[in-house]
A and B are shown apart, each in its own frame.
Chain A
Amino acid sequence: MSQALVPRSRSLVRRAMGARSPVWRVDGVLLVAVMALSVIGTLLVWSSTRTWAAGAPTGMVMKHVLNLAIGWVLCGIAALADRRTLRIYAPAVYGVSLLGLLAVITPLGSTINGSHSWILLGGGFAVQPSELAKPALILMLCALLAEPARGTDRPRTLDLVLCAAAAAIAMGLVMLQPDFGTTMVLAVITGAIMIFAGLRKRYIAALGALAGAGAAAVWLLGLLKPYQIARFTAFINPANDPRGAGYNSTQSLIAIGSGELFGKGLFHGGQTTGRFVPEQHTDFIFTVAGEEFGFLGAVTVVALLGVVLLRGLRIARRSEDRFSAMVVGGIVCWFAFQTFVNVGMTIGIMPITGVPLPFVSYGGTATFANMIALGLIQAVHIRERPF
């Protein structure tokens, strides 16, 4: 073998740190905002789980830190991805995520907290394929709709049908778990990407009508479990059943409201310490922020999430590439929806739905999915930025 046949390769470290390295071309504001959210999330997870078991008050927060670490690595990998590669691999990613969702409904799946959404990996680790389905579906839909109809900037009808089918399969599988919140997220993502792709206004109206009809059908056909109906009625009037379905809503309002302007201080929230709000480290983590950091802290969290969303939109708008812009737009929609639904339910303006708060809630798979999505946004930023 001769030396000449081996290509000259610079070391990975030098490539990563070199002057033309993508590391220097990430969106710093977005990065810092997400880092801040991760730190706040870590503190909140710590505060809400430190009372769990005597002797192991840091068990959960350590796991959260580990999840974040893995998440940042995944983010880095995703940031290096090239849009062409992503488009090519999108069907594969989508297919793998469907397999994951299928596995959940086979005996491989497990039920945690009443939701059959998990695959246990052993060692206390578990994955939630429905979380990974979110970025996978975004990639798949954007790949399908990346090419507009010839000579227009409208999507091709066939692509739209394929899109609808891909989304329906994913949503159907998630619905089987059942995970109503994630289904809603997938529906919003699908609708948003179709709209970005240039769906005509009358179709958008039709889509809206379809969503309304779907909701009505779900309601009238009794596809919702009684507890889900109860949550909606409790949302409309929490005082109806303050110990039952309205309990979460009432308690999270009490926790957040009692934080007042400045909060009670980290680890000093009595409602958090007494664990009056259920699922306080995951879906209701915002209540900890509200109680312990007060209005100022809660608004900071909302503002940081706003920075992530607006920064994402800025990157999407600056993108010269239809696929990239749609991927980032879809991700922003996903985060925006989860942010609004999650924070909204804790302050009584949305019904209780099981969606985590991006970058803040505890949850391994959700963290991974969020970080991958962040990586994808950064990847678009890196590629699109002229240098």
Chain B
Amino acid sequence: MNRVRARLVVLQFLVLTLLTVLTVRLWQVQVVRGPHFVVAATETRTRDVIVPAVRGPILDASGRPLVRNRTALVVSVDRAELERMPDGGMAVLKRLGAVLGRPVKELRERIRPCGPHVTRPCWPGSLYSPIPIDDKVSPREALQILERQEDFPGVNAEVQAVREYPLGTGASQTLGYLQPVTEEELKKRSKLKANFSGVDLVGRDGLEYVYDEALRGSPGLRRVQVDRMGKVLGVERQTSPVPGDILITNMDANVQRVVDRALATAMKNAPRADGAAAVVLDVKTGGVIAIGSVPTYDPKVWAGGISEKDYQHLLSEKAGLPLVSRATHGQYAPGSTFKVSSVSAMIRDGYPLKGKYDCPGVYDVAGTAFHNFHGIGLGVLDLHMALVKSCDTIFYKAAYEMWKRDGGLKPVPRPKEPMTATAKAFGFGRKTGIDLPGEVPGRIPGRAWKKEMWAATRHTSCARAKTGYPEVEKKNPGRAAYLKRLANENCLEGFEWKAAEAANLSIGQGDVLVTPLQLAAAYAALVGDGRLRSPRIAKAVVSPDGTHVREIKAPVTGRLPVTKETRDYIRRALSEVTSDGTAAGAFGGFPMNVVKIGGKTGTAEVYGKEDTSWFASFAPAEDPRFVVVVTVSQGGQGAMAAAPAAREIYEGIYGIKGTAALPGGKPAGRLPKIRRDGTVVQ
């Protein structure tokens, strides 16, 4: 019996040991590593369902939609789930193709991830989010998929908001477009991550990009509890989505349509034109009433995944880069429209405003003959007539004199450079700061600029001065020789600001480049209160229930360096351009008694191409409210292409033929009212 007892004691020791082992291990699992398992448990037990927020609409100043939402039945595919199937989801895609009436190949292409060697159609968004493959599904097709979920694992059909563009191709570069948020963006932008679901679209261009955060709203989150089979047991946590804010713009849908039409006409009438842009600004507020650029495209190509063909079209030079807005990205020599800056520079430099100036046919600038348009002399003029008739030699002379006063080729320590300085004060050579992405600054040349350029290009120029241009020589020996000479000159004396360059700048030629928007902003300041404003497309951001309004004002970025007297003088001069000056032909028969239009034509020469046609204008001439700037690239003379287009725009605004786009010639004043339910009182 004692042996039995002894062995029972051993057993007791063993039992105590085992119990201790269990307790220690339980402590380790539950207390030490407990938090880790809590996270793991939440991960296995719950699924986060993102409830996307409805993106806010973009309205014009009267509340008419520029971009709105249309609800659509969207079929999407969960790629991760398909990949888990033995056949990679082929069977499911085949069945889906049959229901949707699309070839399987197309479906497969749409869900493959985009990559360096994978061209569209492909999926640019997150691989962990459902990929929309069809947003034009009939309710019948959707039901077929939803009712037979066992046949369509990983496929879902649901109602989603899809962007719709009532203007069609109008202002598409300005409005922008949406694309699925990419993995990199999610990773890079930590703040966005919380607000983004994988299915979210993000604004990629235009207003959709700039005001993305406001328009986006915040998606809701439904954390559902699921069981082992993925069956939903209940909702653990729920936050409702907050719809995006409403973006009210200064734009006017009717004026925009007029602008689009006018640009189309201008393109048609100028056979070699390769692009055109127009900007309509509100002189009083700096708001952008309309902004157009051709070639353009219909932004609906982006919805539900863009096709390879459409995408290549948008990127192709041949199609004229329809994605790029020429109003903000197009840089052209401004030609004579620039003379308002030159006149101001002269007055600033002490030239009498009411003085008399000789306008010969030819003027000699440091040994080079500079001609008037067609070489015609216009006699003795005042500055008023110099602008109306667009005399060039007066400005050549003034520019040459200024250049000489600055020391010519051997500049004084602090050259005044009135032409360059004034142009910069007019806002040229820097971005206007408009609420659109990727605007270009243009270029105002001058002495400092030349030095910078020389420092940057000297090496290349000197090399070219030696080697010449053999690749050009085969085709055009004359030009190759010219280029070689130029390279040599640039190599040796590229830092020198030459008299000819100064003369060219004074009439908006040479190295000077401006964007149509810059010109419009400068003219708005000139004919308005003399304050330079950074134009704004957006007027206000309004909460979806209309209660919260954040108004957006165009900030004043500078003051023109000219007195009101000078500005009025220039304005009055330009007011006669349409009746007695260079644009008289284009505005022939225009009822100036209804509204008088002032403006300046511009014809900028471009080497090897047709001239750039400009017309920078304002109305009413006595108390301007609108500035309209039209550019037609390779459109020829300003009076031939741009001025008629501007006329068409004014006719539309004031209703010269038919109904007025802006009755009374006034842009919408008060913001459209947004009701509690988000509807708009127009």
Contacts and interface: CB of A to CB of B under 8 A. Distances in A.
Interface of A: 51, 153, 192, 195-198, 251, 253-261, 270-271, 273-276, 290, 294-295, 298-299, 302-303, 305-306, 309-310, 313, 316-317, 320, 322, 325-326, 329, 332-333, 336, 339-340, 343-344, 347-349
B40 A295 contact: no
A258 B38 contact: yes
A198 B4 contact: yes
Nearest to A274: B227
Contacts of B226: 274
Interface range on chain B: under 10, 10 to 19, 20 to 34, or 35 or more?
A: 35 or more
B130 to A, nearest CB: 23
Which 6 residue pairs of A and B lie closest in terms of their CB atoms, listed nearest first?
A257-B37, A258-B41, A260-B34, A295-B30, A274-B227, A258-B37
A132 to B, nearest CB: 24
B34 A258 contact: yes
B45 interface: yes
Nearest to B38: A258
Contacts of A251: 44
A230 to B, nearest CB: 19
Contacts of A326: 4
Interface string B1-26: 11111011101101110110111011
Contacts of A253: 29, 37
B3 A347 contact: no
A303 B16 CA distance: 10
A271 B7 contact: no
Contacts of B41: 254-255, 257-258, 270-271
B31 interface: yes
B19 A329 contact: no
Taking chain B's interface residues, is the majority helix, strand, or loop, or is none over half, making it mixed?
A: helix
B225 interface: yes
B37 A254 contact: yes
Contacts of B18: 336, 339-340
Interface in B29-76: 29-31, 33-38, 40-42, 44-46
Contact of B9 (A195, A317, A343): A317
B188 interface: no
7 contacts: A196-B8, A257-B40, A259-B34, A261-B31, A275-B228, A295-B34, A340-B18
Contacts of B23: 299, 302
A322 B4 CA distance: 8
B44 A254 contact: yes
A192 B2 contact: no
Contacts of B25: 344, 347-349
Contacts of A332: 11, 15
B233 interface: yes
B15 A257 contact: no
Nearest to A277: B228
Interface of B: 1-5, 7-9, 11-12, 14-16, 18-19, 21-23, 25-27, 29-31, 33-38, 40-42, 44-46, 225-228, 233
A261 B34 contact: yes
Contacts of B42: 270
A259 B12 CA distance: 30
A257 B30 contact: yes
A310 B15 contact: yes
A153 B4 CA distance: 9
B30 A294 contact: yes
A302 B40 contact: no
Given A270-B225, A325-B1, A349 B11 contact: no
Contacts of A258: 34, 37-38, 40-41
B11 A313 contact: yes
Contact of B33 (A257, A336, A343, A344): A257
B45 A276 contact: yes
Residue among A258, A333, A339 with most chain B CB within 10 A = A258
A302 B26 contact: yes
A354 B214 CA distance: 59
Contacts of A196: 4, 7-8
A257 B4 contact: no
A298 B4 CA distance: 32
Contact of A347 (B16, B26, B227): B26
Nearest to A316: B8
A196 B9 CA distance: 11
A348 B26 CA distance: 10
Contact of A275 (B21, B36, B227): B227
Nearest to B12: A313
Contacts of B26: 256, 290, 295, 298-299, 302, 347
Contacts of B15: 306, 309-310, 313, 332, 336
Centre residue among B33, B38, B42 by max chain A CB count within 10 A: B38
A260 B22 contact: no
A349 B19 CA distance: 13
Contacts of A339: 18, 22
Contacts of A333: 11
A172 B550 CA distance: 84
Contacts of B46: 270
A344 B24 CA distance: 11
Nearest to A314: B12
A57 to B, nearest CB: 14
A257 B29 contact: yes
Which one of B4, B8, B33, B37 has the greatest number of beta carbons of chain A within 10 Å?
A: B4
B8 A274 contact: no
B35 to A, nearest CB: 7
A57 B513 CA distance: 80
A257 B45 CA distance: 14
A294 to B, nearest CB: 6
Contact of A195 (B7, B35, B233): B7
Contact of B21 (A270, A303, A349): A349
B416 to A, nearest CB: 77
Contacts of A276: 44-45, 227-228
Nearest to B227: A274
A325 B4 CA distance: 8
Contacts of A274: 44-45, 225-228, 233
B42 to A, nearest CB: 8
Contacts of A309: 15, 19
Contacts of B7: 195-196, 198, 329
Contacts of B5: 317, 325
Nearest to A276: B228
Most buried by A among B7, B21, B22, B44: B22
A221 B45 CA distance: 41
B36 to A, nearest CB: 7
Nearest to B39: A258
A204 to B, nearest CB: 10
Given A276-B228, A325-B1, A325-B5, 5 more contacts: A196-B4, A261-B31, A313-B8, A320-B1, A344-B25
B22 A347 contact: yes
Contacts of A317: 5, 8-9
A351 to B, nearest CB: 15
A340 B3 CA distance: 25
